[in-house]
Each structure stands twice: as structure tokens, then as C-alpha cells.
Chain A
């Protein structure tokens, strides 16, 4: 149980274009989903927290107009990287916290590797 999927697993796009990444909880409902970014050989950095039906909460330094997050249902959240630039190239990982979790444990998706050329 507690499976989270992400699509696509990797994507290459040209500078200036937008890319959408989907995160789905497959066998549970998620009150909250989180989006992380991980650069090579670095730790996971939280970008934003999204709750179903409400606006996402962004971490300090993360541009909300560049990284658009939509959490339309209890099983789906999307991250859109708008006007992507090479410095946005990274490993993007989502996680989901089950609706009935007692300590709000998080389960991670497999990640999406974004390369902007």
C-alpha cells in the first residue's frame, strides 16, 4: 500500500517552454501533497505544500508564478514549471501524506528528471 506515482519519469524541454508533472496517490487519499527539488548530490528541498482545493503554500525563495501547483483532487497534484530555464533542470519529487495518517508520514513518488536545454 501507500503507492505514489509520478509522470513523466523524465522530460527534456527547450528553454522558455512549460512542463507539467503529475503526482498521484494510487491506493490512498492524500490530504496533503508536497513538492521537492533535488539537485545532484544534494538533499531534498521542499518547494511547496499543497492541500486539495486550496492554494499551495510555497517555501521562501520559491517563485509561485514560476512553479504552478494545482491539487484538484485527493489523489492528484500537478506541478507546472513555466518558462523553464536551464537552471530549473533538476530532479523533482512529490510526496503524499495519507488522509488518516496519525503522524502524517509521507510517501514519495519516483521522481521526474527535468532537463532544460
Chain B
């Protein structure tokens, strides 16, 4: 089955700096890669996603890049703000025809300091 590795496990940046989180996946058939932000005790919230036919996607301060050949994808947050502090999970998805199982990375705890 799919295996997703995520690095780093913790990341501390100063407000205004950029943060980068990297993930690798094992199954070359995976074709959907969402990123979720989870605050303590709350649900994961989809912040951005990318399909396998796209190499890069940007939404304001957040961008995701995908390298299918190397089987890795990254989340980039620019101009970080204290409210960006949370745990971020990457995931890879393999469509099975009627549904799509998500395999999550181990998470990155991002701390944005003043």
C-alpha cells in the first residue's frame, strides 16, 4: 500500500519568514495530494490540494509543488503569521473507482513566533 513520509516533524519560524514542509510517497499511481491544517482538538481542514497533472498550485500565501518523477510534494507558506501555527498533514490518495483512500503523513508541528 501507499506510504507517505513527512519532514520535518517540528518547524519553528519567525513571523514573516517562509515555511516549507516536504512529503514523499511510494505509490506512483497516487494522483491526488491534499494538505490539511489541524488545530488542537479540531478537525483537519483542507488548505490546498494538487492533482497529478499539475506541477504547482498557489493560493495567496500558500503554494504546493509536485514532482511526480521523484514522488515528492511540498507545501510552502510565505509571510507566516502566528495564526499559521498548527499541525500540518500531507496526504496521498489513490482513486479506486468509487472512492479514494487517503494515506496521511506523520504531521509537522509549525510554530510561528513573534
Task: List residues of A whose CB falls within 8 A of some B CB.
Answer: 31-32, 34, 42-46, 49, 51, 91, 93, 95, 97, 103-111, 113
Chain B: interface secondary structure?
A: strand
Q: Is the CB of B99 within 8 A of A49?
A: yes
Assuming the contacts A43-B106, A51-B98, A97-B99, asked whether A105 and B46 have C-beta atoms less than 8 A apart, the reply is: yes
Chain A: interface secondary structure?
A: strand
CA–CA, A34 and B43, complex, Å: 14
CA–CA, A103 and B44, complex, Å: 18
For A34, the chain B residues whose CB sits under 8 A away are 101-102
Q: Is the CB of A106 within 8 A of B100?
A: yes
CA–CA, A57 and B102, complex, Å: 14
Which of B36, B41, B100, B101 meets A103, CB within 8 Å?
B100
What's the least CB distance linking A89 to chain B, in Å? 14
CA–CA, A110 and B45, complex, Å: 10
What's the least CB distance linking B92 to chain A, in Å? 12
Which of B34, B101, B105, B107 meets A105, CB within 8 Å?
B34
